[in-house]
Structure 1
Amino acid sequence: MSGDEKIILVTGGSGLVGRAIQTIVSEDSRANEKWIFISSKDANLCDKKSTEAVFARYKPTHVIHLAAMVGGLFHNMSHNLDFLRNNLLMNDNVLQTAHENNVHKVVSCLSTCIFPDKTTYPIDETMIHNGPPHPSNYGYSYAKRLIDIANRGYAQQHGRLYTSVIPCNVFGPYDNFHPSESHVVPGFMRKLHDLIADGNTEDKVFTVLGSGKPLRQFIYSLDLAKLFLWVLREYDSVDPIILSVDESQELKISEVAETLVKAFDFKGKIAFDSSAADGQYKKTASNAKLRSYLPDFQFTPFHQAIKETVEWYQENYDQARN
């Protein structure tokens, strides 16, 4: 990249990943970079004119596109059309407005849930379009997959460097802890916090829905933010790249629960409700491509990242998205 000033616009800047990028940028600032973080309060990205207005105001040279309509499993299942339409509109408006404003580079955020429902493991970047996604979230998944298709179109037709990253499960400060919208780590944290709010006693039971056996990979939001900066500054390919911890760092849901119990110093017992559905047994993603570029990148140990997130949550409970 040239040494000219970069004006980097981050959509979805007030969410989990946007806040993490803000934190890392404050520690790793560069003289030629000006960072602007916007949220839904600043622009309605589903509306083209509103999107054009925010680009005209800030005149970005680079964009990190994090904004998306997201939700928990149940919300996805009952609103697949809304997830499809809103994300299609948002993504098309951001990419096309970026092109119209001669933005040099756009890095969009996808998700491992967009991969085919029936696949082999580990999943890698070549497998995104190999079959339909899980029926529970097909609206969100197809809208996200089309970012990859659009990126290739902008490259082929206009010579643009618009690319995308695919993180595994992200957690950290500023997550969404709302019971019906949260993912597994913030959901467990909210449950434990509420359980011990009136006393941390041995008679309390922390109930985990499901058997606790499914496997997942988790990336600390601050590690992901560092990798986002690397992609923005160094990764110059239209092909998507998975940003995930190593396969050896995959954890059982029961291990996640036990790590959180330790971090909260919970005095009670853990129980697994096996009558509840487990969901997919595993979604193992390969980070071989990432490791080919960054063989020595050190991920924060899970127990340490959980400890830091729990401490943040306890200190900021009143301001958190509960």
Structure 2
Amino acid sequence: MAEKKVVLVTGGSGLVGNGLKLALARDSTLERDDEKWIFVSSKDADLMDKDATVKLFEKHKPTHVIHLAAMVGGLFRNLKYNLDFLRCNTIINDNVLHTCQEKKVKKVVSCLSTCIFPNKTTYPIDETMVHNGPPHDSNFGYSYAKRMIDVYNRAYKAQYDCNFTAVIPTNVYGPFDNFNLEDGHVLPGLIRKVYYAKKDNTDFTVWGTGSPLRQFIYSVDLGALIIWVLRDYPEVDPIILSVGEEDEISIKDAAEMVVDAMEFKGNVVYDTTKSDGQYKKTASNAKLRKYRPDFQFTPPQQAIKETVKWFEENMKTDTVRL
């Protein structure tokens, strides 16, 4: 009888961790009798404390780890606390990966971010370009700490033959997202704005022209792909998990999908005095498609409706982060 896998997910209560849970719950083909999944959060252990990290591993005895835990924040927090983001995330990653090596974990999948890519680059970005130049000044602390996971993975492979790798998702959204306007991202921000515009009978205001393009990935799709990476992806090199370049949608299109999902009948206003930000940050999913040519992403209209439904159902609970 095959040994039962014990999959420990750090940062398991966040957006991506819940995407994993939803993927496992919704798709029976992802379930395996020989796997036990354990989702932990900061309440279970302080991963900045090496002893606490070791105790967590000794308690659960994972054979496999999906490492999602991180200190995260929006633009304003990153600008103010770049050193904190660098130190805290480096310590967390060092503790988790070193403990995985010490406890002979068979495979580790860590989660990076497209913000780690060089600020000055060509598009589409791909996995070979991570270290080609400095990241944007606004979040260099977080970005360098995340980049170092890739360096750690290669070093652990070279010295101990560890099977450590990483995924790089594009703009993730879905249930359990962060809907705080300062710390959250584009889609949860739009959902929150439309909710209150409908509730208060006011205009729904979108900052900028709505023309920038983004590749959004539904957290449930991301969860399914991370499960595939854990089980079957063979490389130490990271892999971008994203919809294709042809599936970029504009902020205006995203806003209209939220308006439709919430059945908002009021005025939509584009405040063109506000900056649009970067027009596009296109990432190539050619490597993903080489391995998974038939993977079907959830249509954004459906995924946004599901996210809106979850938000409205949980709005008055402590589940929604505002």
TM-score, normalised by the number of residues in structure 2: 0.96
How far did residue 268 of structure 1 move? Answer: 1.1
Give, in whole Å, the separation in 2 of the partners of 1:279 and 1:151.
Answer: 33
CA contact under 8 A between 2:198 and 2:266: conserved in structure 1?
A: no
How far did residue 3 of structure 1 move? Answer: 3.9
Residue by residue over 1:134-187, the C-alpha shift from the partner in whole angstroms, topping out at 9 and shown as x without a partner, is 110000000000000000000000000100000000000111112221100001
Secondary structure of the residue that 2:52 maps to in structure 1?
A: helix
- What's the counterpart of residue 216 of structure 2? 218
Give, in whole Å, the separation in 2 of the partners of 1:279 and 1:179.
Answer: 16
How far did residue 271 of structure 1 move? Answer: 1.3
- What's the counterpart of residue 10 of structure 1? 9
- What's the counterpart of residue 249 of structure 1? 247
How far did residue 25 of structure 1 move? Answer: 2.1
Would you say 1:51 and 2:50 are equivalent positions?
Answer: no
Give, in whole Å, the separation in 2 of the partners of 1:63 and 1:94.
Answer: 9
2:171 aligned to 166, 169, 172, which one?
169
- What's the counterpart of residue 29 of structure 1? 31
Q: Which moved more, 1:179-188 or 1:33-42?
A: 179-188
How far did residue 191 of structure 1 move? Answer: 1.1
Give, in whole Å, the separation in 1 of the partners of 2:3 and 2:313.
Answer: 40
- What's the counterpart of residue 118 of structure 1? 120
- What's the counterpart of residue 321 of structure 1? 321
How far did residue 198 of structure 1 move? Answer: 3.6
Give, in whole Å, the separation in 1 of the partners of 2:303 and 2:107.
Answer: 31
Amino acid at match of 2:4: E
CA contact under 8 A between 2:244 and 2:285: conserved in structure 1?
A: yes
- What's the counterpart of residue 281 of structure 1? 279
Give, in whole Å, the separation in 1 of the partners of 2:196 and 2:54.
Answer: 43
Give, in whole Å, the separation in 2 of the partners of 1:296 and 1:95.
Answer: 32
1:297 aligned to 291, 295, 298, which one?
295
Give, in whole Å, the separation in 1 of the partners of 2:139 and 2:2.
Answer: 42
Give, in whole Å, the separation in 1 of the partners of 2:53 and 2:208.
Answer: 42
Unaligned runs of at least 5 residues, structure 1 = none
Give, in whole Å, the separation in 2 of the partners of 1:23 and 1:147.
Answer: 26
Give, in whole Å, the separation in 2 of the partners of 1:45 and 1:195.
Answer: 40
Aligned residue pairs total: 317
- What's the counterpart of residue 85 of structure 1? 87
Secondary structure of the residue that 2:309 maps to in structure 1?
A: helix
TM-score, normalised by the number of residues in structure 1: 0.96
How far did residue 4 of structure 1 move? Answer: 2.2
Give, in whole Å, the separation in 2 of the partners of 1:237 and 1:177.
Answer: 34
Q: 1:3 to 1:233 in 2, by over 3 A?
A: farther
Secondary structure of the residue that 2:199 maps to in structure 1?
A: coil
Secondary structure of the residue that 1:130 maps to in structure 2?
A: coil
- What's the counterpart of residue 264 of structure 1? 262
